[in-house]
Amino acid sequence: MLWLSAVGLPVFVGLVVAHDRVIRRERRAADLMKIQEQGLARLARDWQTLSLPRLEEAQPPVESQVLARDLNLLGRASLLHLLGTAHTPPGRGTLATWLLTPATPAEIAERQAAVAELAGELDLRQELEVRALPLARLSPDCEPFLRWAEDHPWLPRWALSLAQLLTLVTAPVGLLVLADLSPSWPFLLLILVNVSFSFAFAKRMAETFDRISAREGEFQLYAAALGAFDGRRFRGARLQELMAELARDGVSAGASLDLLHRRVVLSDSRRATLIHTPLQLLFLWDFHILALLERWQRDFGGRARRWLAALGELEALSALAALAHDNPAWTFPEVAPREPVLLEAREIGHPLLPESARVANDVTLGPPGTFLLVTGSNMSGKSTLLRSLGINVVLAQAGGPVCAASFSLPPVTLATSVLVEDSLADGVSFFMAELLRIRQVVDAAGRAAGEGRVLLYLLDEILRGTNSRERQIAVRRVLSHLLAAGALGAISTHDLELAQISELAAACRPVHFRESFEPGAEQDGKPVMTFDYRLRPGVATTANALKLLDLVGLGE
């Protein structure tokens, strides 16, 4: 019977290990399948199926909230939603920051090179996603652990030296007592000294161990994600810098965190009294384990925050790379100071629309001293054109690909007035809210010049909160400020007379969209209106408000 147990126990342990391996592989396969399904939903712009990233780390500062709302940069059916492969808090936070803060031309070029290289690394990007998915579900708070890692060790050197000396003496004396080669009182005296010494440091040690182990387990989740890049080599300068940050002095971030984890496991023996008590009495166990932890703190603690920052940047680059991989017809823009100062886009479309519904147009903004006046009937595509320009500029200055055949622009500061709301709480009318927004746009022109940038403004249905006569006067004044500041921009309007304002006529570059009615085509006895969303030169020649009234049954 004993021999059967001796054989059965190893077999049982082997089966448990094998079963655990099968479970891990099953979970990995399920996560990979989810990643593929999410990729298909991303291609189809199926926002209901596509997982919405958690936004705790992606909340924009107050000054960026207008831009984020006007251009659908955050939230459901947004650019961040489309770039949803960044799952860790640092990854989501870095990506949101890049979308809301334009990079310099040099930074853009570095990111573009990294994104282009990662676009071809499908297996690596999906491996990173698989490893990072647990962090998307938990979003651990690692700040307490990071504070310990960046703190200074506190265990006095004399205390560690004394612990080492007592350890060297206590155990041998105990062996001599067991062998009846020594009286017991020296051993008992040493035990009493060890107890007193341990008691003197017990509270501070317990607090330190708790401080480390309480968050180290969560931080270990990052080790798996960082491990996706162990041993990887890249051509691009930025990726090489990130790899160097993750593997200084020949020790990778993943290996460093594994070393820490093993030492934390040793410290957890204090939770098992029957094991910990003899270890502490004989060897002063806690002093030696704390010394090991503080050695890791000295050697690697100062790097921990930089590891997370590097991981966040790698995830952000991978998200932009996924966009480039999934949309091979898109292009990397040219962002650099240029003369004349122009934004030129060929076949530009809206990135958030599915390819089947997207209509591309050629658009040029500039030179300074001119503006694009976009006219057209309701639902013809004016607002979509402005948003297409804005969101592609955001992508361009984040270092990603843009939804265009070609795209070039100078470094710009983007300012928009697209979605304006009144505020009952603040006592602000719709018209006043518009004026305040436009005031911010005009003020941004001065700041942009001070930063070596050009202001790019996008104004949708400008000053629609007042009558036609006063609107024309107000628009003339606003555009005069922007033209004098050397800004580039486009405004959309239903007011066709804006193109006739004498002070603006020379600067105006009118374009328009139009609708059409299919001859002989009717639905419920009413003509069918269609839009081709093609941009044409000149001012719109048609209007459709009354026809839309007929279509919804409110005609005569």
Tens of pLDDT, residues 502-535:
777 788 899 988 877 665 556 555 666 777 889 8
- pLDDT tens digits along 339-382: 899 999 999 999 999 998 899 999 999 899 899 999 887 777 88
Same domain, 480 and 444: yes
What is the per-residue pLDDT across 534-556, written as a single tens digit (0 to 9) for each? 988 988 766 555 455 455 555 55
Distance from first CA to last CA of the chain, Å, rounded?
A: 99
Q: Could you tell me if 359 and 306 lie in one domain?
A: no
- Rounded to the nearest integer, the mean pLDDT of the chain is 83
Q: Please indicate, yes or no, whether residues 384 and 438 belong to a single structural domain of this protein.
A: yes
Question: Is the domain of 510 the same as that of 386?
Answer: yes
Question: Any bridge partners for residue 466, and if so which?
Answer: none
Residue 424 CA from chain centroid, whole number? 34
Question: Does some domain include residue 190?
Answer: yes
Q: Is residue 56 part of a domain?
A: no
- pLDDT band at residue 424 under the 50/70/90 scheme: very low
Q: Is residue 545 part of a domain?
A: yes
Please report, as a single letter, which amino acid is at residue 185. Answer: W
- The whole domain housing 176 covers 143-314
- Shared domain for 392 and 522, answered yes or no, is yes
Same domain, 185 and 295: yes
Can you tell me the mean pLDDT for 201-206?
A: 87
DSSP string, 318-349: HHHHHHHHH-TT-B--EES--SS--EEEEEE-
**Closest C-alpha among 86, 100, 101, 98 to residue 53:** 86
Predicted local confidence at residue 235, as pLDDT: 93
**363: nearest Cα among 381, 348, 341:** 348
pLDDT higher than threshold 50 for residue 427 = no
The CATH number of residue 416's host domain is 3.40.50.300
Which of 9-23, 137-151, 184-198, 383-397 is the least confident region? 9-23
Answer yes or no: is pLDDT of 412 > 70: yes
Domain-located, residue 127: no
In a domain, 87, yes or no: no
Decide: 488 and 343 in contact? Cβ < 8 Å: yes
Quick one: 309 and 391 in the same domain? no
C-alpha 522/C-alpha 148 separation (Å) is 72
Residue 320 domain-assigned (yes or no): no
The predicted structure's pLDDT at residue 523: 59
pLDDT of residue 392: 97
Residue 554 DSSP code: -
What pLDDT was estimated at residue 137? 73
Structurally, the chain folds into a number of domains equal to 3
The letter for the amino acid at 53 is P
- Over residues 245-259, mean pLDDT: 85
pLDDT at position 452, please? 85
Alpha-carbon torsion (148, 150, 155, 161), positive or negative:
positive
Are 465 and 546 in the same domain?
yes
Over the stretch 169-178, which tens digit does the pLDDT of each residue have? 888 888 787 7
At 16 the pLDDT is 55
- Same domain for 286 and 358: no
Do 276 and 360 lie in a common domain? no
Quote the DSSP letter at residue 527: E
Q: Which residue has the tokens 């207008």?
A: 66
Spell out the SS3 assignment of 78-127.
Answer: CHHHHCCCCCCHHHHHHHHHHHHCCCCHHHHHHHHHHHHHHHCCHHHHHH
According to the model, what pLDDT value does residue 125 have? 94
Lowest average pLDDT, out of 98-102, 313-317, 393-397, 451-455, goes to 451-455
What whole-number percentage of the chain has pLDDT above 70? 84
Q: What is the pLDDT of residue 106?
A: 95
Q: For residue 275, tell me if it sits in a domain.
A: yes
Judgement on whether residues 184 and 294 belong to the same structural domain of the protein: yes
Same domain as 510, residue 388: yes
Q: Which residue has the tokens 């006739």?
A: 500
Name the residue among 379, 309, 324, 20 with its Cα closest to residue 142. 309
Distant-in-sequence, close-in-space partners of 428: CB < 8 Å, separation ≥ 6: 422, 436
CA atoms within 13 A on the CB side of 550: 13
Residue 112's Cβ-count burial label (10 Å; 0-12, 13-18, 19+) is buried
What are the beta bridge partners of residue 536? 512
Alpha carbon of 194 to those of 166, 178, 268: distances in Å?
8, 19, 20
